[in-house]
Structure 1
Amino acid sequence: MKVAVEGCCHGELDNIYAHIADLESKNEYKVDLLLICGDFQAVRNWRDLQCMAVPDKYKQLQTFYKYYTGEKKAPILTIVIGGNHEASNYMWELYHGGWLAPNIYFLGHAGCVQVNGIRIAGASGIFKGYNFSRGMWLTGYFETMPYDKEAIRSIYHIREFNVRKLSLLSSPQIFLSHDWPVTIDQHGDYRTLIRQKSHFRQEINSGTLGSPPLMGLLRTLKPEWWFSAHLHVRFEATVVHGDPEGNADTQPTSAAPPKVANPDEIAIDDDEFDGDTASAPTVTSSDAQTASSSTKAADNPDEIKLDDEEEDVAPQPEAQPPPSITRFLALDKCLPRRKFLEVIDISPDSPTLSSPPNAPPTLSFDPEWLAILRAFDPWFSLTREQRPFPDESEAREMVNREMAWVEQHLLRAKPQDQNDHSPMFPVSDIQQFVMTAPGPGSEGADKFKQPPLYPNPQTDAFCKMLEIPNRITGTV
């Protein structure tokens, strides 16, 4: 499959689809799937803009509403995650995932789906330590509408609840995040990165650029590809897993110097709630919710290595299979002359899971993720306090039990074994797009007021499928 990957969208859907069409014409290929790594801005009308944490000068409708109202239709199956500049009220409606518009699917605050046998997982939002955990206490989703000054920002802060669930997945092929995993810069050309973005220097030198929980997930899940956005620059890295010396990547323990402003970021003048990431506490657990304890320096590309030096050392052990790697790619925001989109050829890990050649892309539920959601639903907290999670061994036993339920009640045919994640359960069997809010032009005197929370039939149908409460609207 030809997969187009986009960095920050910022509502520029018309320009993104036009750019892909231009690439298709020039290169004589067809893009099958588009992945967007956050700041998507699914703004349906002016009232949705009041739920977006940006200064007023950035509150523009942009182009998503055309796809929402049916004026246009996305020409490519598009999967998106959320960032830190979103109409968070709409994404909360679809907390578990759903169609934002025809052919545009939101992966949810955390999620995993399949497209023609390729497993795609992702996490929405950004990391802020004080809303990930508060000392000994974990944080739930306490925000309610209308959002106050704190909630309009905290609603997009990733919670440990979602990281725990994602850590239980068997390896997805692709992972999407808005934040970068912490210290990912050490696995690529960080010197060039500093030359391009000098304001990153202090965080790179202190090992605090990025999200600690995401590096924990990268090390745990070992996906083939990891795509990110947020920092408005293109950056490549390669993480090698199974280091024979047991080295791993984390931030140093030294405190970070004062943070320098990012000239490309959307500055929020009164954003005292989004404190410096560097000061956030690091959470550790056997589930690898965070990065481990030391930062690995980049290899020296100029070092001269002599093969015949092996004669003077002890015999080498038997050759081991090559370690797995994760290829990381971050992309810029959609602007002229910026590196905001890349097209990559990706095939399913296993040929037995792939769809027939030239088959149109089919979005399917991932059975393992459905089992994880059922297992962890009792821990879904809608208050500031989060009850403690089960340990990893107990959690995996819970997921195994729920996997049996998913196979019995939802799948059309039982998989051959536990690792068979065949795309056999199309999302469209359960979820169909429905307009829940009006398009622009109907706001009247309420144009600059936050809207009510609209119940979304897709979330209701999803919860009924899994036989779990719809905690978003408080219905069973």
Structure 2
Amino acid sequence: MSASPNEVVFAAVGDVHGNMNRMVNDLRHQAEVRHRQFDFVLQVGDFEPHRDEADLATMAAPAKYRHLGDFSAYDKARRGFPWQVYFIGGNHEPYGYLDTHPEGFELVRNCHYLGRVGVVDLHGLRVVGLSGIHSEERFRAQRPPLSALGSVSNKDFTYFNERDVEQALELGHADVLLLHDWPSGIIDPRDAADFEGQRRSPSHDTVGNEYARLLVDALQPRLVLCGHLHKAYRTSIQHPSGKTTEVRCLGSVGQGDGAYGVFHFKGESFHETFLTGRD
């Protein structure tokens, strides 16, 4: 399906975990069957852009999940991203690398980190991102300086804090909001059984966190994208203002189609198109 004139079409990607080659190949296929390149790609954290073993050592993850991944080839320009990719940080990132530019930066050509809190205007859409996950214990604490790497837990770098949320609130509004963890209170009770006893969600009413939800309620974006739980889920939030926020939670790239969404924005309306499977 080709895009209409003045229509912005972008892809959204869930947790990549270093599988950049699969991400690029899957998205290339989607662009080919639509006969239209994406205007850009948004990614919701756990991207894992490790250049080398030194970067990998700064990631918070059990040893069995520490893999260098594909990014080294992109860093060395042996491979490239066909579209502009914008990502936020999750809880499995080389923050020893990313926090050298907490305000965000271009890692390699066409690959941009939005920072701990970031905003970018893309084809007229205001995209806001908040990196990291929530820990009530760490929420009101400052993040350690990079000089503390090796003397504190790598996990201490994976959390957003009160100042991050305040900075995001100061941005005023967003068309698209990127989060790693889910906002709280979004699970329809009819879907409760799908969330009972799972990793990071012992019950449907414990999914997500209140500060991510605070951002949704304050910024009232048209679309929220999130990852983290490796589970695809769609819902919407009705605001007292009369505005509606569509929420799209994405799976991981290793799981296949549930990791991707394709969104068409034109004027004040937007819709998502379904993915087309490979032959």
Given the two structures, how large is their TM-score scaled by the length of structure 1? 0.52
Q: CA deviation at 1:71?
A: 1.2
Q: Aligned partners of 1:209 and 1:167: how far apart in 2?
A: 22
Q: Which runs of 5+ in 2 are unaligned?
A: 1-7, 270-279
The answer on 1:69 being equivalent to 2:76 is yes
**Contact residue 181 and residue 212 of structure 1 kept, 8 A:** yes
* Contact in 2 for aligned 1:118/1:347 (Cα 8 Å): no
**What does the per-residue CA deviation read over 1:326-349, in whole Å, with 9 as the maximum and x for residues that have no partner?**
000000001154510111102355
Distance in 2, Cα, partners of 1:48 & 1:337: 27
Q: Report the alpha carbon displacement of residue 219 of structure 1 after superposing the two structures with TM.
A: 0.6
Q: Deviations over 1:109-138 (max 9, x none)?
A: 0011111211000100000011112xxxxx
Q: In the alignment, is the contact (CA less than 8 A) between 2:56 and 2:94 conserved in 1?
A: yes
Report the Cα distance in structure 1 between the residues aligned to 2:119 and 2:108, rounded to whole angstroms: 19
For the pair shown, the structure with the greater C-alpha radius of gyration is 1
Aligned residue number for residue 249 of structure 2: 330
Distance 1:50 1:348 in 2: 45
Judging changes above 3 Å, is the alpha-carbon distance between structure 1 residues 197 and 344 closer, same or farther for their aligned structure 2 residues?
farther
Change (3 A) 1:115 1:202: same
Q: For each residue in 1:233-281, what CA deviation from the matched residue of structure 2 results, as whole angstroms up to 9, or x when unmatched?
A: 10011100117xxxxxxxxxxxxxxxxxxxxxxxxxxxxxxxxxxxxxx
- Does 2:168 align with 1:171? no
Matches within 5 A, 1:90-101: 90-101=97-108
1:23 to 30, 35, 39: 30
Secondary structure in structure 1 of the residue aligned to 2:42: strand
How far 1:193 sits from its partner (Å)?
5.8
CA 54–149 in structure 1, closer or farther in 2 if over 3 Å, else same: farther
In structure 1, the gaps of 5 or more residues are 134-138, 244-322, 351-476
Counterpart in the other structure of 2:265: 346
Three-state SS of the structure 2 residue aligned to 1:346 is strand
1:144 to 121, 143, 146: 146
Identify the residue that residue 81 of structure 1 maps to in structure 2: 88
Counterpart amino acid of residue 48 in structure 2: Q
> What percentage of residue pairs aligned between the two structures are identical?
25
Q: Distance in 2 between matches of 1:193 and 1:332?
A: 18
* CA 174–44 in structure 1, closer or farther in 2 if over 3 Å, else same: same
| Partner SS state of residue 203, structure 2 | helix
Kindly indicate whether the alpha-carbon contact (under 8 Å) linking 2:73 and 2:79 is maintained by their aligned counterparts in 1: yes
Q: Which deviations, in whole Å up to 9, do the C-alpha atoms of 1:266-315 show, x marking residues without a partner? A: xxxxxxxxxxxxxxxxxxxxxxxxxxxxxxxxxxxxxxxxxxxxxxxxxx
Match of 1:222 among 210, 220, 234: 220
Alpha-carbon distance change, 145 to 193 in structure 1, aligned in 2, over 3 angstroms: farther
1:270-309 aligned within 5 A:
none
Residue in 2 that maps onto 1:14: 21
Q: TM-score, normalised by structure 2?
A: 0.88
Distance 1:155 1:335 in 2: 25
Secondary structure of the equivalent of 1:99? strand
CA distance in 2, matches of 1:329, 1:220: 18
Deviation at 1:150, TM superposition (A): 4.1
Amino acid at match of 1:77: Q
Contact 2:60 2:158 in 1 (8 A): no
Report 1:459-470 matches (<5 A).
none
3-state secondary structure, aligned to 1:131: coil
Question: Which residue of 2 is the match for residue 232 of structure 1?
Answer: 230
Question: 2:99 touches 2:146 (CA, 8 Å); kept in 1?
Answer: no
SS in 2 for 1:26: helix
Separation in 1, partners of 2:61, 2:201: 25
- The whole-number CA distance in structure 1 between the counterparts of 2:195 and 2:209 is 21
